[in-house]
Structure 1
Amino acid sequence: MKIDRLISIVVYLLNHGRTSAQKLAEEFEVSSRTIMRDLESLNQAGIPIQSFYGVEGGYQIMDSFVLEKQVATNHEYDWIVTALEGMASAYASKSLKQALEKVQSISHTRDTAVSVDLSVASEDDKTNEQLMLLEDAIKGKCVVRFSYTNSHDEVKDIQVEPVCLQYKWYNWYLIGYYEKYQDYCMFKLVRMDNLEKTYIKFTKSHNLSNVKMKDNNDNIVHVKLYGKAVIKAKCREYLNGRITQEFENGDFEFSFSVPEHETFWYGVILSFGNRAKIIEPQEIKERIIKICKEIQMEYGE
C-alpha cells in the first residue's frame, strides 16, 4: 500500500540520510518516477524533504524533523532494537528489516550493554529459503507439503497447515496443524526436504498462545543425573539445567529438561563417559545402557 511505502521512505531517510531516487527505487521495488511522486506527497503532507544536486545529490529529511515516540522511553526503545537486531541476525526477512528500520529511526542513543547474536540460526541458504517460504505460506494461509525424516530415520510425506515458526533448542521449527487428525505437530526445518507451498487454502484461525503452550508441554522429559566434579561446568553449559545437590568431594546431582526424541543431549551425556550416570527416569537410563551396549558390540572383537 502507498501509505506503508510513504512511512517506510520517511523511516529510511531518517536512518540513512541523503539518498538518491534510484537507491530508494531499488529499496522499495518501484520506479524512480513513483519515488518522485512519493517524495512530493510527503512534502505536501508537511515532511521537510530537501533535495540536493550534483555527484553526491539526493534527498534527505531536515535534521529538525523527528518522529513522535510516545509509546515508550528511549531506553525501552533500545531494548526493542536489541531484540529486533537479534532476530534479524537469525532471519533475513524483509518485513523484519523494515520493522527494525522504523524503530531505529526513533531510538538513537543505544545505551544498552546487551547484544543478541543468533546468526548461527541462519548459517545456510537453505534454512533462509525455507523460512521465507513458510512465512509466506503462513501469511497467505496456504497448506504446505514436504518430505520429513523423523528422529527414527523414517521418511514420511507431510501435508499441514503452517501455523507459526519457532527458534528453540538451537534449531528452527515449524508448528503445523493436521486437519485430518485435528491436532498440532512440530517439525524441525533441517529434517525437511522438497518443501513447497501449495495452492490449497485453509480458513481455520489458530490461537498461537494455546499452540505454543501445548508445544512447550509436549514431549519434554525431566532428567536427573549424578556427575563427577570435573564435568560440572560442561553440564551447566550444554544441558542448561541446575545443580540440585552437591557433595563434599565436589560431585553433584543435576536436573534438566529436554525434548525426549532429540539426540543431541544423548550425545552430550555419552561424551561424559563414566563421569555421569542417569538417576531418573528409568526409561532414559535403560536407553543409555542400550546405546552403550550397541557401541560396545560395534567396536568389540
Structure 2
Amino acid sequence: MQTHRLFEIIYLLLDKGQMTASELANHFEVSVRTIYRDIDRLSISGVPIYTNVGKNGGIALMDGYTLDKSILSDAEQNEILMALQSLKAVEYPDPDGLLTKLGTFFKKNQQSWIEVDFTGWGGSIQDRERSDELKNAILTRHTIHFSYWGGDGKKSERSADPIKLLFKGHNWYLQAYCHTRQDYRVFKLFRIQDLQVLEDTFDPYPAVPFRENAKVVMTPLHFTILKSRAYRVYDEFAGAQVTPLPGGNFDVRTCLPVDNWLVGYLLSFGGDLILHSPEPLRASLREELEKALAHYA
C-alpha cells in the first residue's frame, strides 16, 4: 500500500502542480504526519519534491520532473505492460506507441500474452468489420442503428447506445441502452445485421451489471454423452457436473435454461446424447426428431 501511495502522490502532483499536506492526507485517508513521512521517503529516493511554507504554500515537484521508473517495482512494471497488451489485443486505438515507450523506459522486451478475435471460427470479413465498428462506436460513444433477429425468429429495427462487449458462454454479446425499448438490453453479436454508426453521440452511462433480457428459468438435466463426443464434455460442462463411466462415456448432471435454444443444443450432440430426465424435455426431443425424420421419409 505504501508504494502505491508514493506513486500516486507523484501522479497527483504531476497532475495538479501543488497540493497541501492536508489535501493529500484527506485524499488517502491518512494523517498529515504520514504524508510528511512519505515526502521524506520520496526525497531520499531522489524525487525532487519540496514544500512551500506560507499562505499559498504546499507540496510540489521541481519543474520539468518526469516520473522515474524506480518508483515502480518490477512486478508493477510488468502489470502495466500486460494491461496495455490487453488493450492492444482488442485493438484499442494506438496503444502500440505507449506500449513501446514504456517497454523501452522499463528496459523490458515484453512477449505478447493475449490475443482476442471477436469472430468465430470461419468468420467472414463482414463479421470482423461489424465487430470493429461496434468496438469503435463504444469507444467514441456513437449511437448505432441495426436490424436484429430475436430468438423467436422475428426481425426488428433497433437504435441503441452501445456500452460494452461481453463474452458469456460461447458467444459475444453487446450491452447497450436500446432507444426502441427505452431500457438496457443485451444483443447477441451474430444476430446484429445492417449495422450503421450514426453521427449522434451520447454521454457515458453509469456502470450497469450484465443481466439477461428476460428472467431465465433453469431446469435440472440428467443425460449421458457417449465417448465419441468426449471433446465437448469438459469444454461445455464443469468438472463437478461430469462423472466418467466405465467404457469411456460420461454421466452429466447440470442445470440449463428452458427455452427454444435448449432442444436445439441437445440435438447438436446428435445420437451421442441420451437424455434421462426431465420427461417433458424427452418428449420435446422426440417430437423434434420426428419432425426432422419426416423430411427424409
> CA shift at 1:159, angstroms?
1.3
1:276 paired residue number: 273
Give the distance between the partners of 2:131 and 2:77, measured in 1 at CA.
27
1:142 paired residue number: 142
Q: Does the CA contact (< 8 Å) of 1:121 and 1:170 recur in 2? A: no
> CA shift at 1:227, angstroms?
1.4
Secondary structure of the corresponding residue to residue 91 of structure 2: coil
1:194 paired residue number: 194
1:239 paired residue number: 236
1:94 paired residue number: 93
Q: Does the CA contact (< 8 Å) of 1:224 and 1:280 recur in 2? A: yes
2:130 paired residue number: 130
1:68 paired residue number: 69
Tell me which amino acid in the other structure corresponds to 2:138.
I
| TM-score w.r.t. length of structure 1 | 0.57
Quick one: structure 1 residues 76 and 248, their matched pair in 2 at CA, closer, same or farther if it must change by over 3 Å? farther
The answer as to 2:228 corresponding to 1:227 is no
Give the distance between the partners of 2:102 and 2:185, measured in 1 at CA.
34
> CA shift at 1:165, angstroms?
1.3
1:173 paired residue number: 173
> CA shift at 1:253, angstroms?
2.7
Give the distance between the partners of 1:182 and 1:227, measured in 2 at CA.
43
Tell me which amino acid in the other structure corresponds to 1:134.
L
Quick one: structure 1 residues 266 and 294, their matched pair in 2 at CA, closer, same or farther if it must change by over 3 Å? same
Q: 1:220-272: CA deviations, max 9, x gaps?
A: 74653321551573342442333344555654432456676685x86663353
Q: 1:168-187: CA deviations, max 9, x gaps?
A: 34443211123454432211
Give the distance between the partners of 2:80 and 2:257, measured in 1 at CA.
30
Secondary structure of the corresponding residue to residue 119 of structure 2: helix
Quick one: structure 1 residues 100 and 45, their matched pair in 2 at CA, closer, same or farther if it must change by over 3 Å? same
2:37 paired residue number: none
Q: Does the CA contact (< 8 Å) of 2:103 and 2:109 recur in 1? A: no
Q: How many residues align?
A: 231
Give the distance between the partners of 2:159 and 2:74, measured in 1 at CA.
45
1:40 paired residue number: none
Quick one: structure 1 residues 275 and 136, their matched pair in 2 at CA, closer, same or farther if it must change by over 3 Å? closer
> CA shift at 1:295, angstroms?
1.2
The answer as to 2:181 corresponding to 1:184 is no
Tell me which amino acid in the other structure corresponds to 1:137.
A
Tell me which amino acid in the other structure corresponds to 2:227.
V
Secondary structure of the corresponding residue to residue 69 of structure 2: coil
Give the distance between the partners of 1:100 and 1:256, measured in 2 at CA.
44
> CA shift at 1:45, angstroms?
5.2
Give the distance between the partners of 1:166 and 1:172, measured in 2 at CA.
6
| TM-score w.r.t. length of structure 2 | 0.58
> CA shift at 1:285, angstroms?
4.2
> CA shift at 1:147, angstroms?
0.7
1:253 paired residue number: 251
> CA shift at 1:156, angstroms?
0.9
Q: 1:56-84: CA deviations, max 9, x gaps?
A: xxxxxxxxxx962645x434654665565
Q: Point out where structure 2 has 5 or more consecutive residues left out of the alignment.
A: 1-62
Secondary structure of the corresponding residue to residue 94 of structure 1: coil
Q: Structure 1 vs Structure 2: percent identity of aligned residues?
A: 18
Secondary structure of the corresponding residue to residue 118 of structure 1: coil
Quick one: structure 1 residues 260 and 120, their matched pair in 2 at CA, closer, same or farther if it must change by over 3 Å? farther
Tell me which amino acid in the other structure corresponds to 2:289.
C
> CA shift at 1:93, angstroms?
3.2
Quick one: structure 1 residues 290 and 98, their matched pair in 2 at CA, closer, same or farther if it must change by over 3 Å? farther
Give the distance between the partners of 1:189 and 1:145, measured in 2 at CA.
13
Secondary structure of the corresponding residue to residue 254 of structure 1: strand
Secondary structure of the corresponding residue to residue 299 of structure 1: coil
Quick one: structure 1 residues 139 and 87, their matched pair in 2 at CA, closer, same or farther if it must change by over 3 Å? closer
> CA shift at 1:104, angstroms?
4.0
Q: Point out where structure 1 has 5 or more consecutive residues left out of the alignment.
A: 1-43, 48-65
Q: Does the CA contact (< 8 Å) of 2:216 and 2:258 recur in 1? A: yes
Quick one: structure 1 residues 298 and 108, their matched pair in 2 at CA, closer, same or farther if it must change by over 3 Å? same
Quick one: structure 1 residues 190 and 249, their matched pair in 2 at CA, closer, same or farther if it must change by over 3 Å? closer
Give the distance between the partners of 2:168 and 2:243, measured in 1 at CA.
28
The answer as to 2:119 corresponding to 1:121 is yes
Secondary structure of the corresponding residue to residue 160 of structure 2: strand
